[in-house]
Every structure is written in C-alpha cells, then in structure tokens.
Structure 1
Amino acid sequence: MTSDQQSAQGVNDWTPTEERFTNLRTPEWEAEMGRLRKQCPVAHTELFGGFYTLSRYEDVAKASRDFRTYRSGQPFIRVPGMSGLIPSSLNPPEHGPYRKVLNTYFRPEIMNELEDAITRYAVDGISELTAAGCGDAVAAICKPVPARALATWLRLGEDAHIQLLGHFTQLGGDFDDPERMNELMFSVFAGHISKVVADRRANPQDSAVDVLQGILEMEVDGVPTSDETAVAVGVALIGAGHATTADALGSAIYRLAQDQELQQRLRDNPELIVPASEEFLRLDSPLPERGRHTSTDVELHGVTIPEGSLVALNYGSANHDEEKFERPTECLIDRAPNQHLAFGFGPHQCAGAPLARLELRVVLTELLARTSSFSLAGEPESVRGLMMNGLETLPLVIEGA
C-alpha cells in the first residue's frame, strides 16, 4: 500500500477480527501473516477506530524499543479505554521508578522460594487428571496454577486464588466487549485489590517480600504512592499475570498432547524442557499484539503513519518471521539462539517473565515426570480475540507414570 493509498478513506489491508485470523494455530493465520510480512508490512484496518499493524520482526522489535515514537498508554488494541494500568500505560521516565521496584520482586531468590509452592499446585492438578484418566487440562492445571501462584506471590492469603479464579471466569467471555471489560477490570479486580491495599495500610507487611507494600512505600519525585496508584499496579499485575500464563501453559500442553515422540524426548531429556518452553512461547505467543500510539508522523515501508495513530505490534507474526528464524513454522525445541518477542521487548518487556517461565518449567516437568503419556480426548476450544491466544478447554486422555 502506498502513502497515497493510505490517505484514502476506507482502506482495509486485512480484517484481523475474522475468526480464521485470530487463531495462531491455523494455516490461515500463518498464511495471512506471511502475506502481510512480504506484501504489506504496515497494514491498515478501519476496525476499532482505525489502526496499523507492524508484522515484521525487525519493525516490531525496533518499535518496542522506541518509546519516544511509539508511546504506551493504550496497552491493548481491543480495549480502547484500558489506559489506567501502571506501569504498562506509562512511558519513560515515569515508567522507570515502578519497573525498578517491581523488578526486585521477580529476583531469583523470590522465584526460588515460590518453586515448592508452584510444584504443589501443579501436582494437585496433574493428580486430579491421572486419577480420573482424563479431564480438562485448562480447568485442572492451566488456570488454577497461575491463580494460586499469583495469590502466593502477592501474599493474598491461602484461599485468595478461589476468588481470583471467579473473577477470571467472570471476565473470560467479555474480550469482545471493551466497555464490559473495562467495567470488570476496574471494578471487580480493583475492588479486590483495594481491600488488600487498605489492609497493607492498616497492617504493614515486610516490603522486602511484599510487592504491594513495596509499591505503597515508594515515592516518585518525592510524592508518596496513593492508594489509587497502588490499586492500578495491583490490577495490572493480576490482569497481566494470569491469562497470559494460563494461555502459555495450555498451548504448550496442547503441542505435547499431539506429539508422543516429543513427549518422550522431553521425558528422557528433562534438560530440554527450558529451551522447549521458549520454543512453545515463540510459536504460540500468548499475547499476540500490543498497542502503541505514534507521537509523530512515521514513514515506514512507503506508508505514512500519522501522528496519534494506534499501532499494533504483532509479536505473533514477528515470532514467525522467516527473516529472523530458520524454519519458523517448525517446533525446534533446541533452537538457539531463540530471541522471540513473546514477552515483548524494550522498556515495556514483561516484568513477570521470570514467574511465567518458572510456572512453565515446573508444570511441564511435573506433567512429563508423572505421566507415561497424554493425548487429546477431543478438539480443544480456543480463546478467540485479537489480543488473546489460548485455550478455554483442553480435553486429555492421560496415563500416570
């Protein structure tokens, strides 16, 4: 598409909401992303008020780093009002103090302390499936483990994950309704976190290990954190930390359920579970797109992206770019290097990546060690949506070790 064409009204280079283009596992999606990368690397659609999509690895990585040109403040394409999440909606330098504090709670020693608990949560779900010989891996493992891990990491109390799972279930069907999603994110989740913040004010915890206490005790330019800001951080941590990890787990287990040879290779070589997890993340990016706004006109591949335009950084397509990855559609579990963008890139790269990686490693390790085989018992139900890539159900037939 030329810049002259771009200036015309009604230009649609692709229709990203078509069902065949919202499931990263389909040949149609693969073919469409390949077409965009080759023929239309800056693609425009009128949907959601109009936005542009960058699909090549080099462009997506560069835009992710360039926070001055591609500004955050609109993290999700499909939810136009979700601009209040901290720190994902902020840009440097405002973004920096929050990330600096948050990063301390994902340091290796805290992740190591969580491993035993996450192992218990994984074993609980796996045991449920092996005892029955079948079941839904999403319901038994993929959703409960991240919810329990988040509740433990946030120090919300032993049964807090039950409430969180109820909130996630309530939210799950509303990704196509931006107003409803806003309402849930900033009422249901905010209401939950507000109670925790009030409790931290009344009963301060050890800020060395309690992330919400650490946020409450921080100052930005000498200004103490307000309760509202602490709640916005908490909502972002829960919102970002559950669905993406649950989707990553479901996608990984789905791939293994279809490949008995791969299962056995990982059982025989557990040291390959970590690089295999990275390859699963590359192939099935749980958050395929993130949104940015341009702060100035951008000229890219012959297209003018006007100042103030919404731009989707298509991490899913970038992770399949044949110019970056050899044999990009193949699952090469020992791929090295594997510089995928599943966790984003640049200053807004996912702070919680260490926790997500820990959950992936623990769940896959325990699942493979405690089974002799597992396979599909039926077709899984996919999560549908431009910004989501996961499974709602994953029926398995499973045999214990």
Structure 2
Amino acid sequence: MSALPHVLYGDLPMAADRGAGWATLREFGPVAYGDGWYYLTRRDDVLAALRNPEVFSSRIAYDDMISPVPLVPLGFDPPEHTRYRRILHPFFSPQALGVLLPSLQAQAADIVETIAQRDACEVMAELATPYPSQVFLTLFGLPLQDRERLIAWKDAIIAFSLTNDPTSVDLTPAVELYGYLTEAVARQREKPREGILSHLLHGDEQLTDNEAVGLSLVFVLAGLDTVTSTIGATMLELARRPELRAALLGDPDGIAGFVEEMIRLEPAAPVVGRVTTREVTVAGVTLPKGAEVRLCLGAINRDGADEHSGDDFVLDGKLHKHWGFGGGPHRCLGSHLARMELRLVVTEWLSRIPDFELAPGYVPEITWPSATCTLPTLPLILTRKTP
C-alpha cells in the first residue's frame, strides 16, 4: 500500500469541472489509495468488480450503515439480492412506468408552468428537489401533501450523514422519517392503495413490513437526491447552451439522447463503494480481504477509451453505452424511472421556457466532496414568451 499513489479525494479539482477532476484521478494510475479507500479508475477493472459481487461485496459495504430495517435491495448480494430484484423489477420496467407517465408528466408541467409565470427561478429549490419527491410519493401511493415533510427529513438526514462531528448529530429527522414510513406500510398492509408499496405488500411474493420500510428508506435516501443532482446538471447545460436548446426544440426526439449524455457526463452516483471478501489482485496491486474500494464510474465514463467517452456531448441521434447507472447485478433499479423524469422535465421546461440564462455573477460549482455531485443552487433569469 505504501507504494500506491496517494489521493486526497476531497482535493480533486471537481467543484467547477468534473472532466478535470476525473482526469486528475485517472492520472494517479489504475489503483490509488487515500482516506482508507482504494480507488479503481480503469474501465476494465471497474466493470470486472461490478460484475463480481462474490469478491467485491455490496452487503459488507452497507454493514456500517445504521438502519433498523434491511436496506432492500442495496445492502444485499446474490442470491438474496437476486430475489429482491426479481420481485421489484416488474414495477420499474418501462412498461409499468408507462402507466404512471400521464400523472408524472402533469406534475412536471404544473411545476414548470408555475415557474414560467415569473422572471427568475432557483432551479434546485423550485424544480430539482420537489419533483423527484412528488414522483416517489406518487409511485408509493403516498399523499402528495407530504412532500415538504419528506424533503425536510431527507435533507436533514443526508446533511448529518456528512458531518465530521457525530456528537452534534440530531437523530430526530431519521426517527421521524422511519416512523412515517413504518406507519405508511402498516396502513397499506391493512388497506391497500394504488401504488408500488401496496402491490409489494399484497402480491404473490410479498415483502415483509420491515423489508417494505427498508425499500422505502433506500428510495428516499438514495433515489431522490440522485435525480435532483442530474436535473440540476441538466438545467445548467441547457442554460449555458442556447444552440442546444434550439436544436432540442426543433427535434424533440433528440431529448432522449441528450438526457443519456447528461447521465454519462454527470452521473449522480459517480462512485460506488464495495468491500473485498478475500484478497484480490487488480492491475498488479494486491487488495487485502476487507479492503474498502471505490469504483469510479465518473472516471470511466469520460476516459476517452472510445469516440463516445470524452468530456463533451455526443449527440448523433444514437444512444451510446455508459455506466452512469453502474453495472452488474447492482445496476440501478430505478434507471428507467430516472430517465423518464429527466425527459419529462426537459420537455415540459423547453415547451414553456425556451429562453433563459444563468443569473449574472453566478458561478456554477458543485458541493465537493459529495456523494451526488449536486449544485447547491442554480439561479436562472427567464425570458417569458410574448403573446
């Protein structure tokens, strides 16, 4: 380990330019070490680890997370993970999500229409945060009026998960969110509602109450901020590229390709953690059993290994392979849902607010280090259509 390049992850030049940040990390070599983590930066090594949960375990990586319920499905490896995916997959397929499309589109349109009546907007607070929360509530058959409480709990929990001072942590939001989800599961166990949660509680292969609460908890804490982050990154690119906006307005079919490129260039979970179950050699480096490993998806998506993996958009009418949603058995369960949300946001926004720009003096920098590479704010100046 002493011979390995030493990386200080928080010092990478990532805040203003992820291309520069991931390039700097790749320059350390295929394996680097820092802050107790081994960083894998090469495509073949990362993909091999993603596909080998027997050696690069997700289960062990989540053992240290404090949770009174099983973290379904993230905290499990096959065969348990395979069972959960089999149960959950039908609800997150494009066909199943298509049933929800009218509702999710109407919700996106309502939010954007409200914004369109004004001359300015703070995207993160007014669009990127509330919309994914509404989608979760709709999906799980929960009241939309609970949106603000859900956002407050999520934000508080994520904020204290990043603190370096555990003595200052207030566990009240975590307790309240756990209580809310537990009550929701109990209500829907007794009286089913339309939505995924009731289907999972009353279907042919049911989740237990604890499993259902764990799934809901994972979705809130790992599924909402990721979409929030990508909406922010997407709106930033549209704000500073008027020619791109014009192209997408003239060719709405191109929105799918643009969204895919945003997921490649700005993956909301650019690093995924694993723990080795035995000694293993990667790129000539021996990692010990129990090594904490970070698989750098953000680095391999921009590695230049082919003509579709650089630092700029490739908008040629085709959808190109990337690893913005991970890979292997743990590939993001909600990838189709995330794509749908992003396409709806871009479509509804451009149809109502085709002209906008960054607020004067605003410098777009993500919070770094961060699990999701999220812009803290994104203020825009809007130009409304004239009648």
TM-score, normalisation: structure 1: 0.87
Alpha-carbon distance in structure 2 between the residues aligned to 1:372 and 1:325: 30
1:296 aligns with 2:284: no
Name the counterpart of 1:187. Answer: 175
1:349 aligns with 2:331: yes
Alpha-carbon distance in structure 1 between the residues aligned to 2:369 and 2:172: 17
Gaps of 5+ in 2: none
Q: Aligned pair count?
A: 379
Gaps of 5+ in 1: 1-5
Asked if structure 2 preserves the Cα contact closer than 8 Å seen for 1:81 and 1:182, the reply is no
1:159 aligns with 2:148: no
What SS is found at the alignment partner of 2:212?
Answer: helix
Name the counterpart of 1:396. Answer: 380
**Offset of 1:33 from its aligned partner?**
2.7
Name the counterpart of 1:284. Answer: 266
What SS is found at the alignment partner of 1:330?
Answer: coil
Query: Which region of structure 1 is more displaced relative to structure 2, 97-106 or 248-257?
Result: 97-106
2:107 maps to a residue whose letter is Y
1:313 aligns with 2:295: yes
**Offset of 1:248 from its aligned partner?**
0.8
TM-score, normalisation: structure 2: 0.90
Change (3 A) 1:278 1:225: closer
Q: 1:94 aligns with which of 46, 62, 80?
A: 80
**Offset of 1:82 from its aligned partner?**
5.3
What SS is found at the alignment partner of 2:314?
Answer: coil
What SS is found at the alignment partner of 1:164?
Answer: helix
After TM superposition, the structure 1 = structure 2 runs for residues 60-99 of structure 1, keeping only pairs within 5 Å, are 60-73=46-59, 80-81=64-65, 84-99=70-85
Alpha-carbon distance in structure 1 between the residues aligned to 2:111 and 2:323: 29
Identical columns (%): 27
Change (3 A) 1:227 1:332: same
Q: CA RMSD in A?
A: 2.6
Asked if structure 2 preserves the Cα contact closer than 8 Å seen for 1:129 and 1:398, the reply is no
1:369 maps to a residue whose letter is S
Alpha-carbon distance in structure 1 between the residues aligned to 2:336 and 2:169: 27
Asked if structure 1 preserves the Cα contact closer than 8 Å seen for 2:41 and 2:299, the reply is yes
Q: 2:10 aligns with which of 17, 32, 40?
A: 17
What SS is found at the alignment partner of 1:311?
Answer: strand
After TM superposition, the structure 1 = structure 2 runs for residues 161-180 of structure 1, keeping only pairs within 5 Å, are 161-177=147-163
CA offsets 1:323-371 (integer angstroms, 9 cap, x no match):
1454601112237452111111111111111111100001001111112
Query: Which region of structure 1 is more displaced relative to structure 2, 328-337 or 232-241?
Result: 328-337
What SS is found at the alignment partner of 1:174?
Answer: helix
CA offsets 1:174-206 (integer angstroms, 9 cap, x no match):
34227588947853432221111111222234x
**Offset of 1:284 from its aligned partner?**
0.6
1:134 maps to a residue whose letter is A
Change (3 A) 1:343 1:24: farther
Q: 2:368 aligns with which of 384, 397, 401?
A: 384
What SS is found at the alignment partner of 2:369?
Answer: coil
1:359 aligns with 2:346: no
Alpha-carbon distance in structure 1 between the residues aligned to 2:54 and 2:204: 24
Alpha-carbon distance in structure 1 between the residues aligned to 2:50 and 2:178: 28
2:23 maps to a residue whose letter is A
What SS is found at the alignment partner of 2:295?
Answer: strand
